[in-house]
Amino acid sequence: MPDLSIHIAGLHFKNPVTTASGTYGYGDEFRDFMDLGKLGGIFVKAVTGKNRDGNAYPRMAETPSGMLNSVGLQNKGVDHFCHEIYPKIKDFNTHIIVNVSGSTVEEYVEVAERINELDNVPAIELNISCPNVKLGGMAFGTVPAMATEVTAEVRKVYKKVLMVKLSPNVTSITDLAKAAVDGGADVITLINTLLGMAIDVERRRPILSTITGGLSGPAIKPVALRMVWQVHKAVHVPIIGLGGIMNATDAIEFLLAGASAVQVGTANFIDPTVSVKIVDGIEAYMTRHKVKSVSELIGALRTE
């Protein structure tokens, strides 16, 4: 049987398939559909310092091969997460990784410090790439100096594996990846959603209440793959790739481009069991190609 397990920044994952923050709730919502223990890890919904109501309705528009969202980091804040959510999810048989968001460096640091105290959370994913909040979010992920600063400040208080999730809404993704690594990132996650918009021509109005929103789904997969490939060549930390992964073939493309693991996002909305199917599909591919360990696939793209 092929070995799907992988080490990322010293952390052991039973397989390279995880679920993307904001598409998998806190995991609990999927327990009727699948065995969470089959996943490499779960990236739970973004946590901020205080309660956030998020943006007004409408927050979603279906677009060709994808969707736009402008949820705006709706969550009940880090206190609520630590006291109400964490006790319910801490014993899942998979890694629980918390997506940490904020509007200021201080907020990121505050949340990271609190999550650092949670024994069963082995890593955080610093979200410097949310396009749907007025302050912070993507601003930290589009200016290299700011990416370095926020990562470095969080690095001072966060003692476990620090992942930084990058925005694709930049001219040079490698500059941002290097900036995050300079700040102390152990792992780079990419990509967050692409900034986009949709228009209702009958009403001559934007469909989203925020006018613009984040595009996800298969529509962004080629952009995500290209960025994973570029970052893989530019930095020496592991990469977790995401963007439009709908099946095992998509996931394998990300591994070949240089990702050590993948996140399944929007596909969870359409098939809540898809992540398990992707694990099985990677295993079948490895058997078919006589690949003994999944690590042999990482960055194994042939370009000559």
Partner 1 sequence: MELKKLVEDLQVVDNTRLNHRHFILELLAPEKFPLILPGQFVQVLVEDSPSTFLRRPFSIHSVDYQKNTLRLLIQIKGPGTAQLSKLKSGDHLNLIYPLGNSFSLPFTKDVLLVGGGCGVAPLLFLAQFLNQNNIHPTILLGFRTKEEVSEIETYSAYGKVLVITDDGTEGEKGLVVDHSIFQKERLEFKKIFCCGPDAMMKAVAKIARMHRIDCEVSLENTMACGFGVCLCCITPTDKGNERVCVEGPVFNINRLKWQ
Q: Does 54 participate in binding partner 1 (rule CB under 8 A)? A: yes
CB 98 → partner 1: shortest distance, Å? 16
Decide: 279 and 37 in contact? Cβ < 8 Å.
no
Spell out where the chain has E strands.
6-8, 11-13, 17-19, 41-47, 60-63, 66-69, 95-100, 123-127, 161-165, 187-190, 194-197, 199-200, 205-206, 212-216, 239-241, 261-264
Q: Which residues are catalytic?
A: 130
| Token representation of residue 237 | 């930390």
State the number of binding residues for partner 1 (CB under 8 A).
34
- The answer to whether residue 102 forms part of the interface with partner 1 (CB under 8 A) is no
> How many H-runs (helices) and E-runs (strands) does the chain carry?
10, 16
Stretch that binds partner 1, among 52-60, 170-178, 226-234, 292-300 (CB under 8 A): 52-60
Does the footprint of partner 1 cover residue 22 (CB under 8 A)?
A: yes
74 near partner 1, judged by CB under 8 A = yes
Nearer to partner 1, 53 or 106 (CB): 53
Cα-flanking dihedrals φ and ψ of residue 136, to 5°?
70, -140
d(Cα 32, Cα 35) in Å, to the nearest integer?
8
Cβ closest to partner 1, residue 51 vs residue 293:
51
272 contacts partner 1 (rule: CB under 8 A): yes
Stretch of residues binding partner 1 (CB under 8 A), selected from 10-18, 54-62, 118-126, 137-145: 54-62
Determine the interface stretch with partner 1 among 153-161, 165-173, 197-205, 268-276 (rule: CB under 8 A).
268-276
Q: Cα(27)–Cα(170) distance, rounded to whole angstroms?
A: 31
Footprint of partner 1 on this chain (CB under 8 A)?
22-25, 29-30, 32-33, 45, 51, 53-54, 57-67, 69, 71, 74, 217, 266, 268-273
